[in-house]
Structure 1
Amino acid sequence: MQAGNFMRALFAACLVPVLATGCMPRPAVSSPVPGRASLGVTSTTPHVTSTGIVTDFADVVQRDGPAVGNIRAVQGTPVANMTPLWPPAANEHDPFIQFFRQFSPGQSSQSLLPLGTLGSGFIISPDGYILTDARVVAGATQFRVKLADRREFKASVVGVDVPGNIALLKIDAHGLPTVKVGAPSDVKVGQWVVSIGAPYGFENTVTAGIVSSKARLVPDETYIPLIQTDLTLNAGDSGGPLFDLNGDVVGVDAPVHRTFQGLSFAIPIDVAMRIEHQLKAYGKVEHGRLGVTIQEVSAPLARSFGMTQPVGALISSTDRNGPSPKAGLRAGDVILKLDGQKITDSTQLPVAVAELRPGSAVRVEFWRDHRAHQISVVLGAMQNESLASDASGITSQTTVRQYGLTVRALTSEERQKLGVASGVRVEQSPGPAALAGIRPGDIISRVDNTPVSNVTQLRHELHNAGGDVALRVRRDGQPIFVAINLG
């Protein structure tokens, strides 16, 4: 028993320091949990955890949120006397109706329901100029802007640029908070960005994400290479500002076709502000136009054209009545410079051309037949239209085994339906053709820069081609170039 008591006393003596240590005050450690902060500390920058993850965008929202407005565009005559489906019509004093009234919207059956669109915008000058998306105001007759401080203003349209997808509004107010315009060129892929908008009319809604791409061309949407993000944007967010973590606006949120559902895009703010300056000065914007459809120059295409580097903008089609074919440009040419400005990436060309005025004579350097050429082109005026293009067609069927292509001639009905004069239709495309992206149903109209009018000519041109060959293909009504590498 004495031995047992001795052991218990020894255990208790050892336990005291442990418990004492557990009760000692510990130094405060900042929590990496989003939304938590130490009391008495005011953050001046977004909170960053030890792993580098940003967890707090409150400062950006607090500083820049007051300059963001909710835009309501009314497009027609208000619809009056809308009768709610619930509760059912009955005596107003019926206890049953009074009970269920609390669960129904507080909308009077005699109120007006305006038809229109919702959007967002942001104040760029203290005297009431607001930048937004052109589609927010398209076709509308009246506009109301609600600011973060709950004030509402009637807005007028200063100007709309449909190709650039930018609109400039004006409200009668002074001393307003404004955003700070940033530089999209400083934006890095993978960095955090924040948007403030009004999805479905829920104003001052904040969402955050990262930049996925800095220059994404979206077909049939705009000539401007867009900033792509993984933000969640909905109806009502269009026209809102895209902020970096310094609180500078780097883009204007813009909707795109539902085909790209799940992706978000923004017009770079530097391009938007250049459009804004013209809208403010002239009420409209005039864009130059070459009249060409372009695509990226891939490494295999560059080799097939005899180029040392995959640079420039490849012309995949031309508008037969446009400025380019009149000056001598044609499909298969690669534009390398515009008035001395190097075109290293195809996304640079549309913006460079659009910022010039119609009627301007520009010097174009282009690549054709394994060497550079120069030509002068007088720009036309950009219209809100799609570019037309040509193709070519024919008779009989053949297989080019080396390329894995089986092709046949087009029937007269197919030529008429497709609106082409010649070309051959791909029936099968295994082997190198499939790897290059050639699909059954494609219409091949050129091999390198040589037009193809029948299957015999196609075989001949492919037989004489080197290890890399560029095929001009018409797919879903649009012409593109596809490179096949036999290596």
Structure 2
Amino acid sequence: HKKGKFYILTNSHVVQNARAITVRFDKHTEKKARIVGTDPKTDVAVIEVDDKDIPDPQSRIAKLGDSDKLKVGQLVIAIGNPYGLERTVTVGVVSALRRAIGITQYESFIQTDAAINPGNSGGPLVNIKGEVIGINTAILAEGQGLGFAIPINLAKWVADQLIEKGKVVRGWLGVVIQDITPEMAENLGIKEGVIIAQVMPGSPADKAGLRVGDIVVEIDGQKVNEVRELQFKIMRTPPGKEVNMKVIREGKEISLRVKVGEMPEDRQVGEQDQTQTDIGLMLRELTPEEEKRFGVKGLLVVGVAPNSLAMQSGILPGDIILQVGNRPVYSVKDFQQSIEALRQGGKNSVLLLIRRRGNNLFLVLRLR
């Protein structure tokens, strides 16, 4: 709350397509709100509303906690309007931390068994001190007691930038990275770090000399054990700052200095025309540069939800969907329409043509 305005945290998916937004303070008080900014990469949004005629505005400000101090087993309380039932409160525990479920580009969800249902999105997850430690965001509908919230520290970092700049500025390397599986660890003889699967031409990583196959094991003195650690470290690094990286290349450790760039607008993966359906795919259209590089037109699989139909069908992040049945797909809308038509026609599966690692491959995608 500042300069006569309330700034309210919520989910991007709650407000991004809204024609009008109303904030209800109590049974008799409503205010029209304005979107300050949205960030679909984290599913965080900020809206604002003036405090005129709102009694005692300071008492309405939620205290934000520190999500980095959360521990598994800690009691938490979810507040929201599930199915339109206003001011519903449910209680549970922190079931797990740093979860990724394949619905946004940057994920480090708090998992809780506090009951979360449609309508809870954008509401607070609080600790027993009444401090907000997360934003309720998603559920896995096929399970019970599987709710997910964005950590408040991540939400604060995003919100501060949306309020100050109207957008989120992220550090960018220009690489595709993946975790090292047990099979890869045995083959490579290394059990730490993340491996670089792709380096974008002309990117900061390319200019610094990073190569496909390099294994990043350390950045600025901090060990790297999983993709998320490197991803979030670079995301929070101001563009223009140099970082020190240690990589394993052909069995030898080498040190590199990398000048972090700013993530370009045309690489805002998942911000426009993305879909996360019950099939479990997050898709986006290829950029013109990617079409030229890969030599195809289609949809890039950005994420695959765990235990989803897509995962069970063998689709992987990084795959490029070229055809659904015998129909080429060039947009997310094409894909959605094709799947919906097949389902309405009673189909339980469809043959996909995909491009994987430079080769075409047919897969059967289950639809139910």
TM bucket by the smaller chain?
0.5 to 0.7
Q: Does 1:210 align with 2:89?
A: no
Output aligned runs, 1:46-61, within 5 Å. Answer: none
**Structure 1 259/361 Cα, relative in aligned 2: closer, same or farther at 3 Å?**
farther
Deviation at 1:203, TM superposition (A): 1.4
Contact 1:339-1:364 within 8 A present in 2 as well: yes
Deviation at 1:371, TM superposition (A): 2.2
User: 1:169 aligns to what?
Assistant: 47
User: 1:384 aligns to what?
Assistant: 268
Q: Does 1:337 align with 2:218?
A: yes
User: 1:280 aligns to what?
Assistant: 163
**What CA distance in whole angstroms lies between the structure 2 residues aligned with 1:147 and 1:214?**
32
Q: Does 1:193 align with 2:76?
A: yes
User: 2:122 aligns to what?
Assistant: 239
1:384 alignment partner AA: Q
SS at match of 2:195: strand
Output aligned runs, 1:105-144, within 5 Å. Answer: 127-144=5-22
Contact 2:77-2:91 within 8 A present in 1 as well: yes
Higher relative CO (CA 8 A, sep ≥ 6), structure 1 or 2?
Answer: 2
**What CA distance in whole angstroms lies between the structure 1 residues aligned with 2:224 and 2:78?**
31
Deviation at 1:261, TM superposition (A): 8.6
Larger Rg: 1
User: 1:146 aligns to what?
Assistant: 24
Within the candidate set 297, 301, 312, 2:184 is matched to: 301
1:352 alignment partner AA: K
**What CA distance in whole angstroms lies between the structure 1 residues aligned with 2:356 and 2:130?**
41
Deviation at 1:338, TM superposition (A): 2.5
Q: 1:167-205: CA deviations, max 9, x gaps?
A: 111111133422221122221123322110111222101
**What CA distance in whole angstroms lies between the structure 1 residues aligned with 2:238 and 2:193?**
22
Contact 1:215-1:227 within 8 A present in 2 as well: yes
| Percentage identity across paired residues of the two chains | 34
Instruction: Return 5+ residue gaps in structure 1 as ranges.
Output: 1-122, 389-414, 420-438, 443-474, 480-487
**Structure 1 268/155 Cα, relative in aligned 2: closer, same or farther at 3 Å?**
same
User: 1:106 aligns to what?
Assistant: none
Deviation at 1:227, TM superposition (A): 1.3
**Structure 1 191/257 Cα, relative in aligned 2: closer, same or farther at 3 Å?**
closer
Contact 1:124-1:179 within 8 A present in 2 as well: no
Q: CA RMSD in A?
A: 3.7
**What CA distance in whole angstroms lies between the structure 2 residues aligned with 1:418 and 1:127?**
44
**Structure in which a larger fraction of residues adopt strand:** 2
Contact 2:285-2:298 within 8 A present in 1 as well: no
Q: Does 1:155 align with 2:36?
A: no
TM-score for both structures, normalised by structure 1: 0.50
User: 2:279 aligns to what?
Assistant: none
Contact 2:140-2:146 within 8 A present in 1 as well: no
Q: 1:384-408: CA deviations, max 9, x gaps?
A: 22698xxxxxxxxxxxxxxxxxxxx
**What CA distance in whole angstroms lies between the structure 2 residues aligned with 1:247 and 1:150?**
25
Within the candidate set 185, 192, 195, 1:311 is matched to: 192
SS at match of 2:122: coil
Q: Does 1:369 align with 2:247?
A: no
2:98 alignment partner AA: A
**Structure 1 132/440 Cα, relative in aligned 2: closer, same or farther at 3 Å?**
closer
Q: 1:209-230: CA deviations, max 9, x gaps?
A: 2222211123351313111223
2:37 alignment partner AA: G
User: 1:355 aligns to what?
Assistant: 236
Instruction: Return 5+ residue gaps in structure 2 as ranges.
Output: 52-56, 270-283, 287-294, 300-312, 317-352, 358-368
User: 1:464 aligns to what?
Assistant: none
**What CA distance in whole angstroms lies between the structure 2 residues aligned with 1:276 and 1:180?**
15
**Structure 1 353/154 Cα, relative in aligned 2: closer, same or farther at 3 Å?**
same
2:168 alignment partner AA: V
2:25 alignment partner AA: L
1:218 alignment partner AA: I
User: 1:50 aligns to what?
Assistant: none
**Structure 1 136/477 Cα, relative in aligned 2: closer, same or farther at 3 Å?**
farther
2:36 alignment partner AA: V
Q: 1:337-371: CA deviations, max 9, x gaps?
A: 23333324432111111112344443322222122
TM-score for both structures, normalised by structure 2: 0.65
Contact 1:182-1:269 within 8 A present in 2 as well: yes
**Structure 1 371/178 Cα, relative in aligned 2: closer, same or farther at 3 Å?**
same
**Structure 1 135/321 Cα, relative in aligned 2: closer, same or farther at 3 Å?**
farther
